[in-house]
Structure 1
Amino acid sequence: MSEKAPATAEKALSPKSETPAPQPARQKWYEWFAPTDTPAERRLILKLDGLIIVFVFLAYWAKVLDSSATSTAYVSGMKEDLNLYGNQLHYLQTVYMVGFITMQIPLTLLMTRCPVNYFLPAADLLWGVFTLAQYKASNVTQLYALRFFVGALGGFFFPAVQWYLGSWYKSSELSRRGAIFFIASQVGSMSSGYIQAGAYARLDGRYGIEGWRWLYIICFACTIPIALLGLCLLPSTPDTCISRFLTADEIQLAQERMASENREARQPFTRGKIWQILKGWRLWILVTFAFFFSQADGVSSNSGLSLWLKAEGYSVEGINTITTVSPAVTIVASVVCAVFSDIYDAKASWIAVTALLNIFACIVLAIWNVPVGLKFFAFFLSGTADGIAAIIYAWANEICSHSAEERAIVISAMNTIGNTFGAWIPLFVWKTVDAPRYLIGYNWTIALDVCMLAMLAVLVQFWAREKKRSLA
């Protein structure tokens, strides 16, 4: 017995006899918190959701109301009251887009130098004031000036919020929060028509104010309470946070959470830092990728479904009802993609799947002579194209986590390039004379998605190499 004891002991200590370490529990799709989140982290996350997500959702929803207010006002009496003629509506939209595009990067960078908890609500207040001023316009020249400032103050909001979310949330939390924020645009597009139609029907002529002018008053009335709510609730970034709602321990915990993600705090903006950003791969690859993504939603953004329904003889009520399915699909796709990409860290996979779905939808629409049910399915399926927006910007936050300044430049540049090309490419690709069968547009979208898949492979390769270097 004494001779066998050492062998038994040796066997007990051998690697083969060791019990495998239990794998950490994976977060389930319906769970809001990760199993590794401590009670203190969960309280902090809930507070951040209440302080930040509620404000950015409501503020974005209000901005979408204005994006369609001018077109609605034009056909609701503004054209006659201000003696608009020719292409002046197009010029108004162009001036708006000039402010929208040119000021995205400068204002987003300016926000990184200022207390965010004051900068965002203050910009929202100014946006509301300029929106209200449009109701007093007496000629088109005044509207040109006002539309520029409305575009400038509203255009930077999307990239600025994406950067702001990246300053508070982990990579495993960002896509879901970004999806909630993005959904506000879809809810806004679905509700704006009903709000504007109801306002015009009930308020036209009230207190001597024409119905189209009431549209701007309503946008202002929605915006100001939301901006004041932001002034009361929003915390700044963790590195400089002072909040009546967050304790010192919670602010320190937020800083530790960002440090664990290698999410750097704000640093001085130097020429050397700018040069380092410009010569790095992140800016150019992410911006190129964003170009293909931003243009690939052309099926849902160029009214192909509504024009086809009109050509098929559907009533106005039927068209308005059926077309609400597309933003509903986008909402569902945004939630599904965000939840599963967060839990499984599968951003690239969901982007690829969405691109393939959009390619299939556009192939069906390019063929065109298909069963009606399949055509409806293709139009609705194309609504998934925008469902990966939150994933893409969450990924940009993660990839550029080492520099708050690079995050701001890259995210705002991604959004700017999309809006810049989106302002003129549809004039050549989605021509109204080709409606409702946009053969060029559908084939263009197929090419965009194929290119997006190619750029996705490049992005994955560069990001994998970057992570390998950081671990070396």
Structure 2
Amino acid sequence: MTFLSKTGDEKDVTLSIPEIPEDDPIFTEFEIPEDLKATLNASDVEFLNIKVETQPFYKWFSPTDTPAEKRLIIKLDLLILVYLFLSSFVKTLDSSAVTYAYVSGMKEDLKMFGNELTYQSSCYMAGFIVGQIPLTMLATVLPLNYYLPAMDIVWAVFTLFIFKITNYHQLYALRFCIGLLSSFFFPTVQYILGSWYKSSELTIRSAIYFVASQVGSMVCGYIQTGAYDHLDGKANLKGWQWLYVLAFIITVPISAYGVFTIPGLPEKLNMKVFLKEDEVKLARLRMIREKRKSNDKLTFPVVLQALKQWRFWMLVVFAIFFSQADGISSYSGLSLWLKASNYSVYQINTITTVIPAVTIFFSLLNGVLADSWKDSDPYIIAYVAVLNMLAGILLVIWHIGKGGIMFAFFLSGTADSIAAVLYSWANKICSGNSQERALTLSTMNTLGNTFAVWVPLFVWKTVDAPQYKKGYGYNIALDAMMLILLIPLTYLYRRQNRASVKEREDI
């Protein structure tokens, strides 16, 4: 195969790359697309045969990463992670804003004196559930560099409208639309990360993305405090209304940034401005070595086949329990307890930021552990479930003093810290088909959150706050079920890996 030909002063010099024989074992072990076969060379074969090692917890790269691969990883982090982090950050500003606004004047202005706070959350989740699977599957066929930013802008407009509402019925309608428009983002992000990063680097990236939501929740308290103190009354708007205006202003430039930086998928690039041809090829080879694809077509037989696999059902059932296990930290228990205990608005908005801070710390810790300790995903999920269960037990007891109650609420922040671990694990488990991955990831999040529409009406009633006895007991049961389900899920995953290794050895 001729790679380069040039004419010198005395003779022609031709540099060639040796052809890879069609019967080479590399074509049997790896599924290599036809367009790559024509350019495959000895260096590529050597790269595919590298046995990837996990990186030490104190390093960003694996010892087996080549110099070119390290440069590619850094570039991918800058192109993909930065936008995803910022986009997630502003979306959480909106989600967290409702709780902060509720205790900062919205409750009185919109006359939300009953279960309206719970109802608006259910409206949001209804839209979230309706849109998630179809919009996620749509993301696998549309240009991602236009699709994600465009949906961000539309979402931001509906968020902005909240500052003009005059009653909680309007809030219900807008929260449904906002839930619909943001529903696909989390599973789509997991799908994108799983299409670019190998197993030994996937979880920490997923954790960094997830941390953005916690940073948004944490910063929201400070922004609301600042808006309450400095913008209240400006332009005839209350302090809580300004938070929605600020969220819109922040979103617009972030969306514009995404249009130019999101490259799409390795085998279906939408934007090549920042990636060279050799880097694109390297990115594809990385995923071929992982046996993880991103170019499978969305067809009914593919969907039907995915529904027949244990992977789909085990992961979806597990996600049903996981998605509700953060109830202690999600249903405003701490902020409502602080308000009932006569803490000031400033203290409420500040103290409640400790929960997302705990989530941030444990998310990053768990991401590092998962990437540096091979096959550690089930162990990480298990220890976090135990910590969250302890928080529930303490709150069921309740009479443990203010310090004990506050500690239990803070400890509940660990619950969400395994989101990156679980969904990265799902990416690895479903590596064989990209559409199965997308369907599984979106269904996990959809059915997991379906219960959040109606369960809160029974176990997380606002009128029961802050001592949600039913809710805390329910949380304990959810963690117990997660621990039980981890046993068959881990067994099936390891059996699948053993079968894959045996198949390669037979070849």
| Residue 33 of structure 2: aligned partner | none
Q: 1:125 aligned to 2:153?
A: yes
Point out where structure 2 has 5 or more consecutive residues left out of the alignment: 1-50
Amino acid at match of 1:368: W
Shift in CA distance, 375/65, structure 1 to aligned 2, threshold 3 Å: closer
Q: 1:80 offset after TM fit, Å?
A: 8.2
Q: Which moved more, 1:308-317 or 1:341-350?
A: 308-317
**Residue pair 1:200, 1:215 contacting (<8 A) in 2 also:** no
Query: Could you tell me which of 326, 334, 357 is aligned with 2:363?
Result: 334
| Residue 387 of structure 2: aligned partner | 357
1:309-358 CA-partner distances (Å, limit 9, x unpaired): 45555444444433322211111110111101111121111111111222
Shift in CA distance, 247/109, structure 1 to aligned 2, threshold 3 Å: same
**Residue pair 2:93, 2:220 contacting (<8 A) in 1 also:** yes
Counterpart secondary structure, 1:423: helix
Q: Which moved more, 1:191-200 or 1:228-237?
A: 191-200
TM-score, normalised to structure 1's length?
Answer: 0.87
Distance 1:312 1:138 in 2: 29
| Residue 318 of structure 2: aligned partner | 289
Shift in CA distance, 244/74, structure 1 to aligned 2, threshold 3 Å: same
Q: Percent of counterpart pairs with the same letter? A: 56
| Residue 274 of structure 1: aligned partner | 303
| Residue 49 of structure 1: aligned partner | 77
Q: 1:428 aligned to 2:458?
A: yes
Counterpart secondary structure, 1:103: helix
| Residue 166 of structure 1: aligned partner | 194
Q: 1:75 offset after TM fit, Å?
A: 7.0
- Choose between structure 1 and 2: higher helix proportion: 1
| Residue 455 of structure 1: aligned partner | 485
Compute the RMSD of aligned alpha carbons. Answer: 2.8
| Residue 413 of structure 1: aligned partner | 443
Q: Which moved more, 1:385-394 or 1:322-331?
A: 322-331
Q: 1:107 offset after TM fit, Å?
A: 0.4
Distance 2:210 2:229 in 1: 30
1:223-262 CA-partner distances (Å, limit 9, x unpaired): 0000000011111100012421111001100000001111
Q: 1:203 offset after TM fit, Å?
A: 3.6
Q: 1:209 offset after TM fit, Å?
A: 5.3
Distance 2:240 2:403 in 1: 38
Distance 1:134 1:405 in 2: 36
Q: Which moved more, 1:211-220 or 1:443-452?
A: 211-220
Distance 2:426 2:188 in 1: 13
Shift in CA distance, 447/80, structure 1 to aligned 2, threshold 3 Å: closer
**Residue pair 2:268, 2:295 contacting (<8 A) in 1 also:** no
Q: 1:117 offset after TM fit, Å?
A: 1.8
Counterpart secondary structure, 2:140: helix
Trace 1:98-177 onto structure 2 (pairs within 5 A). Answer: 98-135=126-163, 145-177=173-205
TM-score, normalised to structure 2's length?
Answer: 0.81
Shift in CA distance, 92/293, structure 1 to aligned 2, threshold 3 Å: closer
Distance 1:349 1:439 in 2: 29
Q: Which moved more, 1:408-417 or 1:85-94?
A: 85-94
1:287-315 CA-partner distances (Å, limit 9, x unpaired): 11011111112222233334444555544
Q: Which moved more, 1:181-190 or 1:142-151?
A: 142-151
Point out where structure 1 has 5 or more consecutive residues left out of the alignment: 1-22
Amino acid at match of 1:102: V
Amino acid at match of 1:62: V
Shift in CA distance, 418/218, structure 1 to aligned 2, threshold 3 Å: same
Q: 1:38 offset after TM fit, Å?
A: 0.7
Query: Could you tell me which of 251, 263, 287 is aligned with 1:258?
Result: 287
Amino acid at match of 1:245: F
**Residue pair 2:155, 2:181 contacting (<8 A) in 1 also:** yes
Shift in CA distance, 437/205, structure 1 to aligned 2, threshold 3 Å: closer
1:179-210 CA-partner distances (Å, limit 9, x unpaired): 11111111111111221342354344544556
| Residue 59 of structure 1: aligned partner | 87
Q: 1:375 offset after TM fit, Å?
A: 4.3
Shift in CA distance, 57/138, structure 1 to aligned 2, threshold 3 Å: same
**Residue pair 2:329, 2:412 contacting (<8 A) in 1 also:** yes
Q: 1:374 offset after TM fit, Å?
A: 4.5
